[in-house]
């Protein structure tokens, strides 16, 4: 594999388990992000997507531990890195945008000091030059009156503003990969659209990769190059964004798309996925989505397969992988009927 084709970030069969025991939160998850690409990791709350982001940069909370798999960034083994190497990795290698901006902002620091940190500390830029760049960055994330806001303290910012400051900080570091966990969820929809527009422009200009973690399919469909769908700690479908949105194969993906975009069915009602995904990880055998899946219908053999055997992650088209018995080639009649 040539360097150009090797993925920038590669997660292989990652398993994360609670220290106190119990079902793994993330169970054999694999994904990869190539240079300059936007991969959207899609799932609902409880699917484990935020934990995946934290695992990649080794920021898991105390009660969770990586118990299997590998994470490789730019060829290096992240899970084996020591403290100094990790510090170098975070920021300039992998930048992170958290869901809660308060977690990332120092309440005692002024905004401009915060945003300038990757420049002054990370790259040794002189303060004046760094502060000028800070103003530029703040403009690029549409913070109004940036000169004034730059002097404010982080605790004085509203939620939406704090999220934008966080974005400016992450961009200042000029990372090769930006992991963004619900970066625009708290923002108004017009602001969100404007920020995504600018983020896309930045990304196209500087060619960094983005791992976008979200449940908002509107954002995904407009912004992502590739989509990976997560359910109960595993990836259940993956492929180019256009392909997944146009031809979703996994029953969960199809249902999620219809639920998120709120397209009415033939009878005017909305598709509702019965049950709840809360206990999906505790299912001992078989497909984790089976209890909520309407696809097998009357097909007894398919029911049996879904209940007893975990489907493998296989190809169902060029560059389109899915984890579903019904989508496997030899049972394709059930899939097309769904």
Min CB(219)–other proteins separation in Å: 7
- Of 33-41, 129-137, 221-229, 294-302, the window that binds other proteins (rule: CB under 8 A) is 221-229
Tell me if 218 contacts other proteins by CB under 8 A: yes
Task: Write each residue from 276 to 305 as x if it is in contact with other proteins (CB under 8 A), else as -, in one continuous string.
Answer: xxxx-----------x--------------
Integer CA distances (angstroms), 82 to 5, 58, 100, 155, 276, in order: 27, 11, 27, 32, 40
Quote the DSSP letter at residue 157. S
In angstroms, what is the minimal distance from the CB of 222 to other proteins?
4
Q: Work out which of 34, 215, 254, 303 binds other proteins, going by CB under 8 A.
A: 215
Among 106, 136, 242, 319, binds other proteins (CB under 8 A): 242
160 lies in the site for other proteins, by CB under 8 A: yes
Q: Buried b vs exposed e over 279-302: b needs ≥16 C-beta within 10 Å?
A: ebbebeebbbbbbbbebbeebeeb
Asked if 332 touches other proteins (CB under 8 A), the answer is: no
Does 275 help bind other proteins (rule: CB under 8 A)? yes
Q: Where is 68: in which H helix or E strand?
A: strand 64-73
CA distance 86 to 91: 10
For 260, counting Cβ atoms within 10 Å of its Cβ (0-12 exposed, 13-18 middle, 19+ buried), the class is: middle
Place of tokens 């449940």: 215
Q: List binders of other proteins among 71-130 (CB under 8 A).
A: none
Nearest Cα residue to 211 out of 41, 44, 27, 79: 41
Of the candidate residues 105, 134, 196, 335, the single one contacting other proteins (CB under 8 A): 196
**Count of positions on this chain that bind other proteins (CB under 8 A):** 44
Euclidean distance between the first and the last CA atom of the chain, given in angstroms as a whole number:
38
CB of 310 to other proteins, least distance (A): 20
Contacts with other proteins in 174-193 (CB under 8 A)? Answer: 188-193
Asked if 18 is part of the footprint of other proteins (rule: CB under 8 A), the reply reads: no
Say whether residue 45 binds other proteins (CB under 8 A).
Answer: yes
- For residue 212, list its beta bridge partners: 40, 180
Instruction: Report the nearest approach of other proteins to the CB of residue 190 (Å).
Output: 5
Residue among 311, 304, 302, 305 nearest 231 (CA) = 311
221 binds other proteins, rule: CB under 8 A:
yes
* Distances in whole angstroms, Cα of residue 193 to Cα of each of 42, 108, 149: 19, 31, 22
Footprint on this chain of other proteins (rule: CB under 8 A): 44-45, 62-63, 144, 160, 188-194, 196-197, 200, 215, 218-219, 221-223, 242, 245, 255-256, 259-262, 264, 268-279, 291
């Amino acid at each position: 594999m040539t360097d150009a084709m090797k993925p920038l970030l590669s997660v292989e069969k990652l398993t994360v388990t609670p220290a106190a025991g119990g079902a793994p939160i993330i169970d054999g998850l694999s994904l990869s992000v190539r240079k300059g690409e936007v991969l959207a990791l899609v799932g609902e709350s409880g699917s484990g997507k935020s934990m995946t982001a934290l695992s990649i940069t080794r920021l898991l909370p105390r009660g969770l531990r990586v118990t299997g798999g590998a994470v490789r960034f730019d060829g290096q083994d992240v899970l084996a890195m020591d403290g100094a190497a990790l510090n170098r990795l975070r920021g300039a290698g992998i930048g992170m945008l958290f869901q809660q901006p308060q977690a990332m902002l120092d309440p005692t620091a002024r905004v401009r000091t915060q945003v300038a940190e990757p420049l002054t500390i990370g790259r040794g830029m002189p303060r004046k030059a760094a502060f000028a760049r800070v103003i530029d960055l703040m403009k690029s994330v549409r913070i109004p009156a940036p000169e004034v806001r730059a002097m404010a303290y982080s605790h004085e910012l509203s939620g939406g503003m704090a999220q934008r400051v966080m974005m400016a900080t992450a961009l200042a570091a000029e990372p090769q990969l930006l992991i963004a966990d619900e970066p625009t969820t708290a923002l108004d929809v017009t602001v969100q659209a404007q920020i995504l527009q600018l983020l896309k422009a930045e990304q196209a200009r500087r060619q960094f990769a983005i791992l976008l973690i979200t449940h908002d399919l509107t954002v995904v469909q407009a912004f992502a190059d590739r989509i990976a769908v997560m359910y109960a700690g595993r990836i259940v479908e993956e492929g180019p964004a256009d392909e997944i949105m146009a031809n979703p194969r996994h029953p969960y993906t199809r249902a999620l798309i219809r639920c998120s975009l709120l397209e009415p069915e033939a009878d005017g009602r909305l598709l509702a996925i019965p049950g709840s995904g809360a206990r999906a990880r505790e299912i001992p055998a078989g497909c984790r989505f089976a209890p909520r899946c309407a696809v097998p219908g009357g097909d007894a053999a398919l029911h049996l397969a879904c209940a007893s055997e975990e489907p493998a992650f296989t190809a169902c088209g060029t560059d389109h992988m899915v984890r579903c018995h019904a989508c496997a080639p030899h049972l394709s009649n059930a899939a097309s009927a769904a």
